[in-house]
Structure 1
Amino acid sequence: MKLTRRTILAAAGAAVLVAQPMMAFAQELPGNVRLVIGSKSTGGDTYQNSAIVAEALGEHLGINIKVDAVGATEAFKALKRDKRGSTLMIFHDQSYLGNLYGRRGYDDPFANYTFGPTVAINPGNAYLVPADSPYQSMEDILDAAKAGTRVRVAIQPGGVSEIGFSAMKNAARVRAPGSEENLVAVNTGSQSDKNQAMWDDLADVINGSIQANEQFTQLPADDAKAMRFVWVTARAETLQQAPAKGMGNTTLDQLLKYASPATSVTLDGEKDFTFDKEFFFLYNPDMDPAIAKQIDTALTEVFSKGEIQERQKGAFFIPNFLPSDEALSHLGAKRDTYRNVIAEISGN
């Protein structure tokens, strides 16, 4: 065949058409991404944290990322259906704690999904007592259990709310074997349910958070709704990264008095138990690794600018970006520690 300019251009065009599908094989995030979260609340910490990350990541990549508060069960289902990268998930430690506690709807995320980067910590997980409680500290609560007094603790079973209760029982067991039986769970639902259990005198201690319950610690002591913090589970190193003004009218220095080492809930007689509530991405296991790499790269660049950290701290979150590989190792180690705690108090 005689080669002319027309045949050369036609051949080149055909080569481009053939090459295009191969180039598209290395996928990237689509222009519209659904970010499902393991909460149904649009006013809670999971939504608030996810919205900050979604906005920063979307702006950086020039795409639209919409946060969809569908709850854990529906979020996992949606993620399982979509391997294209158009559905991503952000959740926290509940994703694996729910599995460790045997909660329905919680598959082992380490076996069934791919972990993406961590993005933040909520250092606010806490335990509180009524303002007029005879218990002034966790030491008093554990001593009461040792003396045979039944102490009722309101929690939402199967995850972040329960892990601190498990740690209390474990600490009681370490200090005085058998006394852990005197720490009794009052299983409730949302934070408002736990608060109400305290106000109805159905619980002596409740799980709460700095963000949700600090307002009640500022009430006059004779107010029926007044509370006091007795324990903040976060590591001191985590809390120390929060603004010095703390939250509401409670300063950071005051909050540190409720965290380890000032407040000790022992893990094994030597080290204290601590728990940082961390938020991270989860992906469909069959999603193209190129998309995961794109997110890691983009978030590395976003966090290097420093603006997202200011937004997170303004909402009392602690910035905590770890790329996917580091996040997987870190979260796996956390899972193993808490699995051991749960096993110790269950006798498994």
Structure 2
Amino acid sequence: MKKILQSTTILMAAACALAPAAAYALDNPIRGNIRVVIGSKSTGGDTYQASSIIAEALAQKIDANIKVDAVGFSAAYQALGRVPTGNTLMIFHDQAYLGNLYGQKGYEDPFKEWTIGPSFATNPGNGYLVPKNSPYKNMDEILNAAGNGKTIRVAIQPGGVSEIGYTAMKNAVRLAYPGQEDNLVALNTGSQSDKNQALFDGLADVINGSVQANEQYTRLPADDQKAMNFVWLTAKASTIAKANPNGMGETSRDQLMQYASGLGVNIPMDAENNFTFDKEFYFLYNKRMSPEVIEFLDKALAEVFADGKVQETFKKSFFIPNFRTSAEAQKHFKEKRDSYAKIINNLHK
């Protein structure tokens, strides 16, 4: 009897000593490996980087194998639609609803087609770049050139954060040079690697990019084919101010602030306001995924952020931690969608 009691005590102590991740594994309603598909095909862009950071932190928290696949929005939506168990999750950003607002093929209304899950990061480094040897050194020169009859080719991915910035550029030309806005021409490409290649090949005068994906190219000498410079970051200056002071690579936050709307750059939206856009990342779930799984992931991600480590990882890569629960994120992004719907309609008038 004494040995039985001792064994029972040892087992109970071992159970109490379970690591938090092991305890989560016991309660995890998602059985097996988890695949996170993302709305980008590039493994060098900000979507993949942000997704990898949060996926690794979540995997450690719940003691699960999580793999991030850069498959692009169309394949990601198909994969997500096939699996309601939580074994396939999706990560995307504002393009999910912007693509729908722009009427792009394949972009259904995400608030009807999917369940919006937690947000986790903001990229204050979404922006636009030119070749380092470009005749245009800043946004004023680009907009004035278009206004004076020069064709300016802008590489974007249709229906997303790159297009809404491009739309804002066209509107700025229209305000200053009515009738000349069509001198800004969209060069429709795919993910970040495609936009970069368009610049390398001399097909684009301006490309959409990000601090995370493109800062490395701004360090190259001007005679390098891949060398480029930032000319505009779309985020609000107050958003960029929250980022890591060290910036990214060899470029500090203060150096990047010169490209912020309202500071070094002015992209008029109307007579009184400049255009700004904060790019945010969040999860999307299969509409049939159970409330139990949603609640489990909400709790796990909340604890990931409560631990405090993932925030530091995000900041090192120039992201701003930005956690909201599923319910909070749904409310926030619906309001943001409605706000930019009005802006898009106004910019297209």
TM superposition score normalised by structure 2: 0.84
Please tell me whether the aligned partners of residues 118 and 283 of structure 2 are also in contact (alpha carbons under 8 angstroms): yes
> Where does residue 158 of structure 1 map in the other structure?
159
Identity %: 60
Render the CA deviation track for 1:207-247: whole Å, top value 9, x for unaligned. 22222322332233344443221101122222222222212
Render the CA deviation track for 1:276-298: whole Å, top value 9, x for unaligned. 22110111122222221222222
> Where does residue 76 of structure 2 map in the other structure?
75
Alignment of 1:288-303 (within 5 A): 288-303=290-305
Distance (whole Å) between structure 1 residues aligned to residue 150 and residue 230 of structure 2 = 20
Please tell me whether the aligned partners of residues 303 and 321 of structure 1 are also in contact (alpha carbons under 8 angstroms): yes
1:184 is paired with a residue whose SS is strand
Alignment of 1:135-146 (within 5 A): 135-146=136-147
- The one-letter amino acid paired with 1:266 is P
Gap change, CA 1:286 and 1:244, over 3 Å in 2: same
Distance (whole Å) between structure 1 residues aligned to residue 140 and residue 55 of structure 2 = 41
- The one-letter amino acid paired with 2:318 is F
Render the CA deviation track for 1:180-209: whole Å, top value 9, x for unaligned. 222111223343443343344433222222
Larger radius of gyration: 1
Distance (whole Å) between structure 1 residues aligned to residue 338 and residue 194 of structure 2 = 30
2:270 is paired with a residue whose SS is coil
Please tell me whether the aligned partners of residues 121 and 276 of structure 1 are also in contact (alpha carbons under 8 angstroms): yes
1:337 corresponds to 2:339:
yes
- The one-letter amino acid paired with 1:329 is K
Of 264-273 and 320-329, deviating more is 264-273
Distance (whole Å) between structure 1 residues aligned to residue 200 and residue 88 of structure 2 = 41
> Where does residue 112 of structure 1 map in the other structure?
113
> Where does residue 320 of structure 1 map in the other structure?
322
Alignment of 1:1-348 (within 5 A): 28-262=29-263, 263-347=265-349
Distance (whole Å) between structure 2 residues aligned to residue 47 and residue 193 of structure 1 = 15
Please tell me whether the aligned partners of residues 170 and 344 of structure 1 are also in contact (alpha carbons under 8 angstroms): no
After TM superposition, give the deviation of residue 88 of structure 1 in Å: 1.7
Gap change, CA 1:88 and 1:188, over 3 Å in 2: closer
Unpaired segments ≥5 residues, structure 2: 1-26
- The one-letter amino acid paired with 1:40 is K
After TM superposition, give the deviation of residue 127 of structure 1 in Å: 1.0
Distance (whole Å) between structure 2 residues aligned to residue 255 and residue 183 of structure 1 = 25
2:302 is paired with a residue whose SS is helix
After TM superposition, give the deviation of residue 60 of structure 1 in Å: 2.0
1:267 is paired with a residue whose SS is coil
Please tell me whether the aligned partners of residues 139 and 232 of structure 2 are also in contact (alpha carbons under 8 angstroms): yes
After TM superposition, give the deviation of residue 39 of structure 1 in Å: 2.5
Distance (whole Å) between structure 2 residues aligned to residue 32 and residue 215 of structure 1 = 34
Distance (whole Å) between structure 2 residues aligned to residue 134 and residue 275 of structure 1 = 26
RMSD (Å), alpha carbons: 2.3
After TM superposition, give the deviation of residue 94 of structure 1 in Å: 1.9
Distance (whole Å) between structure 2 residues aligned to residue 86 and residue 220 of structure 1 = 45
Distance (whole Å) between structure 1 residues aligned to residue 58 and residue 226 of structure 2 = 40
1:233 is paired with a residue whose SS is strand
After TM superposition, give the deviation of residue 173 of structure 1 in Å: 2.5
TM superposition score normalised by structure 1: 0.84
- The one-letter amino acid paired with 2:289 is M
After TM superposition, give the deviation of residue 115 of structure 1 in Å: 0.5
Distance (whole Å) between structure 1 residues aligned to residue 198 and residue 289 of structure 2 = 44
Gap change, CA 1:157 and 1:183, over 3 Å in 2: same
Please tell me whether the aligned partners of residues 175 and 269 of structure 1 are also in contact (alpha carbons under 8 angstroms): no
Please tell me whether the aligned partners of residues 45 and 213 of structure 2 are also in contact (alpha carbons under 8 angstroms): no
After TM superposition, give the deviation of residue 329 of structure 1 in Å: 2.0
> Where does residue 13 of structure 1 map in the other structure?
none
> Where does residue 19 of structure 1 map in the other structure?
none
After TM superposition, give the deviation of residue 152 of structure 1 in Å: 2.0
Of 254-263 and 167-176, deviating more is 167-176
Distance (whole Å) between structure 2 residues aligned to residue 236 and residue 60 of structure 1 = 33
Equivalent residue pairs, number: 322
After TM superposition, give the deviation of residue 27 of structure 1 in Å: 8.8
- The one-letter amino acid paired with 1:219 is L
Of 59-68 and 264-273, deviating more is 59-68
Unpaired segments ≥5 residues, structure 1: 1-25
After TM superposition, give the deviation of residue 104 of structure 1 in Å: 2.3
1:178 is paired with a residue whose SS is coil
